[in-house]
Amino acid sequence: MKRNYNLDKWRGLTIISMVLFHLMYNINYYWHIAWYDDTLLNKIWQLSIACSFFIISGITSNFLSADKNIKRGIKTSLIAFAITLATYIAAPDQFILWGVLNGLGASMIITGLIQKFTNILPKYSLIFLILFVITYKIPRGVLYTNSFFKSMYELNFFYLGFPSADFHSSDYFPIIPWIFIYLFGFIWGKDLKNKNFYGKYGRENILSKIGKYAMPIYLAHQIILYPLVTLIYNLAK
C-alpha cells in the first residue's frame, strides 16, 4: 500500500514537538525555566506528544497483518532494551526502564495478538479512550489501598503499571494505561479506513519527510542535544 503522507505529517509534527520538549528539558536541567518546570503546560505538552505517538502507531497497525505487528513490536522492544542498557552504562542519572519504546513495542505485540483472535468494531473505540483516562493514574499508586493491587505494587510489576515505591525511570510508559490509547488509535484507524482516509494520501512535504524518519530522529536527538546543552552551560559558567 502507498505510504500515507497525512500520517507522516502528524508523526513529523509530533517528532518536532518532542525534540523541542527535550531541548527545554535539557535547558531546564541547568537553568530553571519557570513556565516549563513541573507546570500544567509542561504536563499537557508531554501528554500530547506521548498520546500522538501511541495513536499514530495504533492507526498504522491497520496497514499490517497480525504477524507483522507482532514482529514490529518485538523489533521495537529490542531497541528499547538496548536503550535501557545504554542509559544504565553511560547515563545512570538518566536511566530508562520501560520507556516509550517499551510501551509501544508491548502495545504492538498485544494488538497483533488481538488481531489474531478477535475483531473489535470501530464503534467501541471511545471505550478504550475512556479506559485510558480512568487508568491513567494507576502507575502513581492510586490502587495501593486495595490489598490485591498493593501486592502488585510491592512486587514491582512496573511493566504492567504497578511500580514499587523505589522504582525510578526517567521515561516510563507501562502497559496500563498506554495499551488503551494505542487500541483507541488502532480501532479508530478502522473507522478512518472505512471512510477512505487511507485513500487520501496527501502530498509529501518537509513534515512528512521528518515523520518518515521518526525512529532514527528519536534515537539520535538526545545524544546530540544533551551534550550540546551541557557544553553551552560549561562555557557560560
pLDDT in tens, the chain (237 residues): 567 788 999 999 999 999 999 999 999 999 999 999 989 999 999 999 999 999 999 999 988 999 999 999 999 999 999 999 999 999 898 899 999 999 999 999 999 999 998 888 888 999 999 999 999 999 999 999 999 999 999 999 999 999 999 999 999 999 999 999 999 999 999 888 777 776 666 788 999 999 999 999 999 999 999 999 999 999 998
Residue 100 dihedral angles phi and psi, to the nearest 5°: -60, -35
Strand partners of residue 162: 157
pLDDT of residue 199: 66
Q: Which three cell numbers stand for residue 158?
A: 512496573
Please indicate, yes or no, whether the overall pTM of this predicted structure exceeds 0.85: yes
pLDDT of residue 76: 98
Residue 25's closest CA among 227, 218, 226, 235? 226
* Helix/strand/coil percent split, the chain, to 5: 75, 0, 25
Q: At what angle do helices 100-117 and 40-60 cross, to 10 degrees?
A: 40
Distances (CA, A) of 82 to 39, 71, 161: 31, 17, 21
* Spatial separation of the C-alpha atoms in residues 33 and 16, rounded to whole Å: 20
Residue 136's closest CA among 184, 176, 105? 176
Burial (CB count within 10 angstroms: exposed 0-12, middle 13-18, buried 19+), residue 158: buried
Distances (CA, A) of 73 to 111, 113, 179, 231: 9, 11, 13, 36
CB 109 within 8 A of CB 73: yes
pLDDT of residue 122: 86
CB 228 within 8 A of CB 30: no
pLDDT of residue 119: 85
* Spatial separation of the C-alpha atoms in residues 219 and 171, rounded to whole Å: 14
- Write b or e for each residue in 124-142: b if 16 or more Cβ atoms lie within 10 A of its Cβ, otherwise e: ebeebbebbeebbebbeee
CA distance between the termini of the chain: 54
| 3-class DSSP string for 40-66 | HHHHHHHHHHHHHHHHHHHHHHHHCCH
